[in-house]
Structure 1
Amino acid sequence: MTAQLTDRAALMRQRARAVDAGPALFLHEAATDEMQDRISMVNKAFTAPAIITGWPAPWRAAFPEATIIADEPTLALEPETHDLVIHAMALHWSDDPVGQLIQARRALKPDGLFLGVMSGGTTLHQLRASLAQAESEVTGGLSPRIAPTGEVRDLGGLLQRAGLALPVVDSVPLTASYTDMTALMRDLRAMGEGNAMAARPRHFARRAVFDRAAQIYADAFGDGAGRIIATYDLIFLTGWAPHASQQQPLRPGSATTRLADALNTKETPLDD
């Protein structure tokens, strides 16, 4: 049984409130720009794209020809229907990211392209550290307040487990500055990216915790001009539905050229 990371109902409420209040979409704008650049470098025309996302508006605007699919646990995708599937800014809230990738891979035609983008890596590490230190000092304990983030080295393995060929994972770090921690948290609410973890505390935190966290943040992560810095790491995932035309790894022991010859160096045998 998959462990429950996300309170899905809370996540949907946060997204709805953000849309009603006027969402902050700068991360989606950065992600769509980067995604369009990456697709333009692929020597292939895509005629049946699908996009999996909880934020249809910015992605529909960037890819008007794409079918938009909600990021539900069970995706509304038909097998071998699309030549391009994009998983857009939603995988970091999935309780079963491998399952999401498997469903996306099954929806691809042979030699179809999967592209994913999600928050991960060092995203909000400053806020995480400040809240943890403040809560430890004030209450003597810790509460789950910011969702865990995936690392580049681990996410490549997820692509392989999902059966995608030629997997590549890389990150694009972004930074933003805010007047203070309150402004940052207001922006996170406008993104629909507040605390929606299933294990989050259900009571209001003490004001002293946030006051102390704001002080720690300003002291440790100020920009020297009276503002604070926040990091957002966009993690990009690339993989292909397997096809016979793709490059295949050689069988171990099948090499016909010695490495020493290729490097023009002398091979030194090791003692047994």
Structure 2
Amino acid sequence: MASRPASANFLAPIIAETLLDRLTMVTRAFPRMLLIGAHDQTLADHLRATGSDLTIIEASPRLAAAVGALVVEADAVDLPLASFDLIVWPGGLDSVNDVPGALVRLRALLAPDGLLLGAFVGDGSLPRLRRAVMTDGVRPIARLHPQIDLAAMGNLLQRVGFTLAVVDVEALTVRYGDSFALVRDLRAAGLSSRLALAPPPLTREEAARIAASFAAQADSDGRIAESFRIVHFSGWAPHPDQPQPARRGSGTASLAAALKPSI
């Protein structure tokens, strides 16, 4: 369980640290790397420190100018095919307009045996806030963008041609004093609604009802524990030297025999 850090965009360093930990478990080198998003300088600095060629893309012109990134939307990347050995995407896949299309583009950008490694806030996150915005007296309007679940992400990676796909989830709990602090964090982390048609603003009465409903879910100390489910994913561009699954029906051991109790 984590207390809310002083920095509003608290998810960026948490995700960056986890991705770097996972990257250290990969023994091969990646000469050409693409980083999608410039929200954590430590992640960019670490990738640069490997001595590899690093390209950064960022949708925000302000952030792009600060780190020397290309101004590009993640689902509209137009770079040479097979030009990267590693693509790191530390958050944001769940908010693009065309998730399958974005993964198809990234698959095309990877050289054979290239790795895609990323994370995003997934399905099941923010249950208390979602419950609060559905309280009586608040217009039933979508105010948070849809979330991708674990099974859907695994299927997407396989459908667009990634091999050795791995998807898992890490639960993170952050405790808040009120709903306004949570909303500030969500906006800073880019997790507020990105729907094409922005919902109408809350009235003062609706905001008060949501705040009261959120506060009613507090623990005995008056703070509300909100949950974030961080979905981590990875997949490789196909290569002949990669491990291959056994051909269906090629097994020699009997499942019935394995399950038979020993005497």
TM-score normalised by structure 1 residue count: 0.80
Report what 1:10 is aligned to.
none
**Does the aligned pair in 1 maintain the 2:81–2:109 contact within 8 Å?**
yes
Aligned counterpart in structure 1 of residue 78 of structure 2, from 76, 82, 85: 76
Report what 2:122 is aligned to.
120
Q: What is the one-letter code of the residue matched to 1:27? A: L
Report what 2:173 is aligned to.
175
CA–CA separation in structure 1 for the residues paired with 2:259 and 2:15: 44
**1:241 corresponds to 2:237:** yes
Aligned counterpart in structure 2 of residue 192 of structure 1, from 190, 193, 206: 190
Q: What is the one-letter code of the residue matched to 1:161? A: R
**Does the aligned pair in 1 maintain the 2:92–2:120 contact within 8 Å?**
yes
Q: 1:75 deviation in Å?
A: 0.6
Listed as ranges, the gaps of 5+ residues in structure 1 are 1-21, 267-272
5 Å-filtered alignment, 1:79-94, equals 79-94=81-96
CA–CA separation in structure 2 for the residues paired with 1:105 and 1:73: 12
Q: Pick closer, same or farther for the CA change 1:111–1:77 going to 2, 3 Å.
A: same
Aligned counterpart in structure 2 of residue 43 of structure 1, from 23, 27, 48: 27
**Does the aligned pair in 2 maintain the 1:121–1:152 contact within 8 Å?**
yes
**1:38-87 CA deviation, whole Å, 9 max, x = no partner?**
01011212221111226374542343352112334321332111111112
CA–CA separation in structure 1 for the residues paired with 2:141 and 2:225: 23
Report what 2:64 is aligned to.
none
**1:138 corresponds to 2:164:** no
**Does the aligned pair in 2 maintain the 1:144–1:200 contact within 8 Å?**
no
Secondary structure (helix, strand or coil) at the match of 2:17 reads helix
**Does the aligned pair in 2 maintain the 1:144–1:199 contact within 8 Å?**
no
What percentage of residue pairs aligned between the two structures are identical? 34
**1:265 corresponds to 2:260:** yes
Q: What is the one-letter code of the residue matched to 1:28? A: A
Report what 1:166 is aligned to.
164
Secondary structure (helix, strand or coil) at the match of 1:170 reads strand
Report what 1:256 is aligned to.
252
Secondary structure (helix, strand or coil) at the match of 1:61 reads helix
Report what 2:203 is aligned to.
206
CA–CA separation in structure 1 for the residues paired with 2:190 and 2:7: 8
Secondary structure (helix, strand or coil) at the match of 1:63 reads helix
Please tell me the root mean square deviation across aligned C-alpha atoms, in Å: 2.1
Q: 1:193 deviation in Å?
A: 2.8
Runs of 4 or more above 6 Å deviation: none
Report what 1:270 is aligned to.
none
Secondary structure (helix, strand or coil) at the match of 2:118 reads strand
Listed as ranges, the gaps of 5+ residues in structure 2 are 1-5, 59-72
Report what 1:111 is aligned to.
113
**1:173-205 CA deviation, whole Å, 9 max, x = no partner?**
111112111111122222233222123323x32
**Does the aligned pair in 1 maintain the 2:124–2:229 contact within 8 Å?**
yes
Between 30-39 and 250-259, the greater mean CA deviation after superposition: 250-259
Tell me the number of residue pairs that the alignment of Structure 1 and Structure 2 aligns: 238
CA–CA separation in structure 1 for the residues paired with 2:172 and 2:40: 22
Q: Pick closer, same or farther for the CA change 1:61–1:122 going to 2, 3 Å.
A: farther
**Does the aligned pair in 2 maintain the 1:146–1:195 contact within 8 Å?**
yes
